[in-house]
């Protein structure tokens, strides 16, 4: 393909090579998991064994040492070409591990020994293939500023109660990243977060995922009932009910990774249809040529936007965590970094949907058959614009406010 996105570092190249190897393997099983609505257990096991799960872990803790969100994004794009469900689940893990690696460096710079030890322990587990992290944050009636889950203070920690939805990858998770509302010592509502083990009493992962697409993603509900979270595991991430700029900025990488997965799905659909058209000698039909051209333009634009968005995200991190600045006021505006990621997500996800739509049209009547792989790709790509953070309508409002100089929290 022209206008390919490529990794910028040697570690990133190793990661992308692994992603391409896994994608070829996962594609052979993707339709079966879609038809049977079964979780991709064997894919996640393969990711653990190959070391791909430890891509963003420092070498000294057993990983590949990838530090670039851009290179992680490129790898997610390649993985997305093979199977969307696996990629969606793995993206949750990948960018959590990248954030833990970055948090370790901040902890060392700030002299936060407690957090440093916590990060090192988690990194060793991931580096050895023992730990996979999933995310259990989504809730009915809540958004990225709020939570209906509640953490109440007890001796030595917190008791967490709440119900989560769309916990993608939860069937294979060893740890869950969660958020909850809590009150500090002054009685103020705050948002807290933690990464907690699934084998502790008080957590139940329901087997209830029934999506139109991404059927193999295991995006089940999770119930926390009097679940204990230690003080050491619990972090404050900002004022409740507000966009916390710093926290959202760190999640920008995951947003870009998700977007690149959906572009990968669209790229696969386009490749399949082009091959079919040529095999049936339909490549000289004007309508087919026009639709193929629109797809090529869309893919080139999406790749360019993802590349620029990921590079900007890495630059934001480097500038705000350079020597002498770690832990101080940000050099670059976090809301601008979040806005850039939201712009990228909206454009790429909508473009990916348009590409797959055109593929169905180019395919003709056979594209409407459920037995056609395009059926799965069509349903899978629909998830993109609906995913948080920044589903389409929320993204538009946030982008507009930041671009006009209006505080998103007003």
CB 404 within 8 A of CB 109: no
CB-count burial class (<10 Å; 0-12, 13-18, 19+) for 60:
exposed
Choose among 128, 120, 186, 121: nearest CA to 153.
186
Give the pLDDT of the chain (410 residues) as one tens digit per residue. Answer: 567 899 999 999 999 999 999 999 999 999 999 999 999 999 999 999 999 999 999 999 999 999 999 999 999 999 999 999 999 999 999 999 999 999 999 899 889 999 999 999 999 999 999 999 999 999 998 888 999 999 999 999 999 999 999 999 999 999 999 999 999 999 999 999 999 999 999 999 999 999 999 999 999 999 999 999 999 999 999 999 998 877 777 778 899 999 999 999 999 999 999 999 999 998 899 999 999 999 999 999 999 999 999 998 898 888 877 645 544 555 678 888 889 999 999 999 999 999 999 999 999 888 889 899 999 999 999 999 998 877 888 889 999 999 999 999 98
Domains and CATH numbers, the chain: 10-131 (1.10.540.10), 136-239 (2.40.110.10), 245-403 (1.20.140.10)
Work out the number of other CB atoms within 10 angstroms of the CB of residue 364.
14
- How far apart are alpha carbons 326 and 329 in whole angstroms? 8
Please write down the long-range contacts of 27-32, taking CB distance under 8 Å and 24 or more positions apart: 27/81, 27/82, 27/83, 27/268, 29/83, 30/82, 30/83, 30/84, 30/85, 30/86, 30/216, 30/376, 31/373, 31/376
Helix, strand, coil percentages, rounded to 5, for the chain: 55, 15, 30
**Under 8 Å between Cβ of 57 and 64:** yes
Q: Which of 54, 49, 40 is nearest to 84 (CA)?
A: 40
Report the sign of the C-alpha dihedral through residues 49, 176, 388, 315, in that order.
Answer: negative
Cα(302)–Cα(91) distance, integer angstroms: 19
The CA-to-CA distance between both ends of the chain, in Å, stands at 45
The DSSP string of 48-90 is: HHHTGGGTTS-GGGTS-----HHHHHHHHHHHHTT-HHHHHHH
pTM for this prediction: 0.95
- For 234, residues 6+ apart whose C-beta sits below 8 A from its C-beta are 151, 157, 158, 192, 193, 194
Q: Please classify residue 177 by burial: count the beta carbons closer than 10 Å to its beta carbon, then call 0-12 exposed, 13-18 middle and 19+ buried.
A: buried
Whether residue 79 contacts residue 264, with contact meaning beta carbons closer than 8 Å, is answered with: yes
């Amino acid at each position: 393909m022209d206008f390919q996105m490529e990794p910028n570092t040697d570690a990133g190249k190793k990661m992308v090579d692994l992603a391409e190897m896994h994608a070829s393997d996962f594609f052979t099983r993707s339709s079966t998991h879609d038809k049977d609505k079964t979780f991709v257990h064997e894919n996640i096991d393969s990711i653990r064994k190959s070391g791909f799960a430890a891509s963003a872990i420092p070498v000294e803790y057993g990983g590949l040492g990838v530090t670039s969100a851009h290179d992680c994004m490129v790898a997610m794009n390649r993985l997305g070409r093979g199977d969307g469900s696996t990629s969606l689940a793995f993206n949750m893990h990948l960018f959590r591990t990248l954030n833990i690696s970055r948090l370790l460096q901040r902890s060392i710079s700030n002299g936060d020994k407690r957090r440093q030890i916590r990060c090192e322990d988690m990194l060793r587990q991931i580096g050895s293939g023992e730990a996979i992290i999933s995310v259990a944050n989504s809730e009915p009636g809540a958004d990225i500023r709020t939570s209906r889950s509640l953490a109440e203070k007890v001796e030595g920690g917190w008791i967490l109660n709440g119900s989560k939805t769309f916990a993608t990858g939860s069937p294979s998770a060893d740890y869950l990243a969660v958020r909850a509302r809590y009150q500090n010592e002054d009685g103020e509502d705050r948002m807290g977060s933690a990464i907690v083990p699934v084998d502790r009493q008080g957590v139940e992962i329901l087997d209830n995922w029934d999506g139109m697409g991404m059927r193999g993603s295991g995006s089940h509900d999770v119930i926390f009932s009097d679940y204990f979270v230690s003080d050491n595991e619990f972090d404050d991430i900002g004022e409740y009910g507000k966009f916390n700029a710093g926290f959202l900025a760190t999640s920008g990488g995951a947003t870009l990774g998700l977007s690149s997965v959906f572009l990968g799905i669209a790229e696969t659909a386009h490749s399949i249809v082009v091959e079919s058209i040529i095999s049936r000698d339909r490549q000289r039909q004007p309508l087919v040529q026009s639709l193929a051209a629109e797809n090529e333009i869309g893919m080139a634009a999406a790749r360019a936007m993802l590349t620029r968005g990921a590079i900007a995200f890495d630059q934001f991190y480097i500038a705000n965590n350079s020597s002498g600045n770690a832990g101080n006021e940000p050099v670059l505006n976090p809301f601008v970094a979040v806005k850039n990621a939201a712009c990228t997500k909206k454009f790429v996800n909508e473009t990916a949907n348009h590409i797959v739509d055109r593929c169905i049209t180019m395919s003709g009547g056979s594209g409407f058959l459920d037995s056609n792989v395009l059926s799965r790709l069509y349903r899978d790509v629909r998830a993109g614009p609906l995913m948080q953070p920044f589903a389409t309508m929320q993204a538009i409002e946030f982008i507009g406010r930041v671009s006009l100089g209006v505080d998103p929290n007003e």
